Structure 1
């Protein structure tokens, strides 16, 4: 089992990440740290394979913690989970070797994909002494079909174009259910397209909490044109 430390100062977000983590096979919650100091103490006394790290925290923020983790030579990987989307923060995190970067709010599918990809990379490295270029590209560097201008598996251009036309006509933020009704496709199918459009910057997502019931994920068109 991959031991995971969640570092998050917002108890509600930490609990959400905990629930998400429990739904991904092969991962185990090692602990939750509410700030950078707690995280460093936890790392000194516990086995941790992966950190889910927030950036915005008081005193020792995520970037400072990441620097301290690297300076102390802790053999641990990091996935950044943060609302920070400015290029400077992203570049700094990548230079410090984060294996993925999730921008809040995100859907479970993106969270699950990040952990599943990490688990597969870890398995491949643990079970192999040498790797060929194809394995490095696909499993380690996660170079996808999108690099060649192709859509992810399971998506087609005609449906994508149809969904995009409806999105452009939507002036207000919309939910997956609302857009599914407009387009005439299932919510499960539409969710895959919305996830893809968000990953390439066409959509911005926001998790909205309601007085009762589960929070709802709303999407907003960024006015960026679709290049596929």
Structure 2
């Protein structure tokens, strides 16, 4: 059984994540810690395989704990859980070796997918005496996909429309564009397009600039970084 520790300062969220973990076969919940100090107590007392780690907590945050675990060469894996989707935070956590990254709020199926993926890796790397190339290729191909951002589509937006707008944006390359241009190219109302562009700006996919000229000011957008995004409801 894979031993799991939850580190989460919100009691309601911790309780929900407990129930989630208990529903996935092959995992045994050790307990939940509400801060980094409590997490160390459990890590000292028990053989923990996997930590479900929240980022924002009073005192030391989850990223600080993750960094300390790596500096101490602790043999524990981490799935990072946070309400934030900042690019720098995601990049830092990936460099520190997280096995997955979940953005709140997430559905049970997304956590179940992360746990089952981890279980496959754990069996190959910890239970088998030898590993063949195909098994390693499966592990590393899945890890490579962590470089894409997995973000929940907010209420009021649809995944299909969002992906269509992104496809049109990508076709423009590095060129700047306006809301009106995207509305024209997608045949979607300007008001609706504005909502989607605002969301893409919030997740740091787009950069927004207000251009002053003749008439009313116009918002211009440009892709910040052409990374992959995976959306889910």
Structure 2 length-normalised TM: 0.62
Is 1:89 the counterpart of 2:86? The answer is no
Which residue of 2 is the match for residue 117 of structure 1? Answer: 117
Q: Deviations over 1:146-200 (max 9, x none)?
A: x9xxxxxxxxxxxxxx972599879699xxxxxxxxxxxxxxxxxxxxxxxxx93
Q: How far apart, in 2, do the equivalents of 1:142 and 1:9 lie? A: 30
Which residue of 1 is the match for residue 131 of structure 2? Answer: 130
Higher relative contact order, chain-length normalized (CA < 8 Å, sep 6+): 2
Q: In the TM superposition, what are the counterparts of 1:2-151 in structure 2 within 5 Å?
A: 2-125=2-125, 126-132=127-133, 134-142=134-142
SS of corresponding position for 2:142? coil
Q: Is the 8 A contact 1:138 1:144 kept in 2?
A: no
Q: How far apart, in 2, do the equivalents of 1:141 and 1:36 lie? A: 32
SS of corresponding position for 1:142? helix
Point out the structure with max Rg over C-alpha: 2
Structure 1 runs (4+) deviating above 4 angstroms are 165-173
Residue 45 (structure 1) shift: 1.2
Structure 1 length-normalised TM: 0.63
Residue 84 (structure 1) shift: 2.0
Residue 68 (structure 1) shift: 1.6
Count of equivalent residues:
163
Residue 137 (structure 1) shift: 2.6
Which residue of 2 is the match for residue 164 of structure 1? Answer: 160
RMSD: 2.9
Q: Is the 8 A contact 2:124 2:131 kept in 1?
A: no
